[in-house]
Amino acid sequence: MMSTTAPKPATTPIPVQLSEPEFEAFILLHLSMPKRGRKRLFNEAIHALRMRVERTFAWEDKFKRLLLRFERIQQRHYGMKLLAYTLINLRTFCGA
């Protein structure tokens, strides 16, 4: 037989019988508590590199010939990549 227990709430329940100053102190105390878990690490250099890589993958998704590698010769595949990236950048810089 399984016992059915209610899950614990994620936040601290607010006591009902508090005066206004006590309630404000309770709220300030619980709002200023640090959040659990790993601290966020944002590194501008890593973010810039990651965005460059993600943008390159998005460019490859626009060209089916690059998305599915049909060429057996590696130099031809890289040549197609170069041609595709050149076309994408020409569109961007020429304003088309």
Residue 60 maps to a domain:
yes
pLDDT value at 42 more than 60: yes
Residue 76 lies in a domain: yes
Which domain, by its residues, includes 74?
Answer: 44-94
In a domain, 4, yes or no: no
When divided into structural domains, the chain yields a total of 1
Residue 11 placed within a domain: no
Do residues 14 and 26 touch, judged by C-beta distance below 8 A?
yes
The per-residue pLDDT for 50 is 92
**Whether pLDDT at 88 is above 80:** yes
| Whether the predicted model's global pTM rises above the 0.85 cut | no
Is 90 domain-assigned? yes
State what percent of residues in the chain have pLDDT above 70. 77
62: in domain: yes
User: Mean of the pLDDT values across residues 42-69?
Assistant: 84
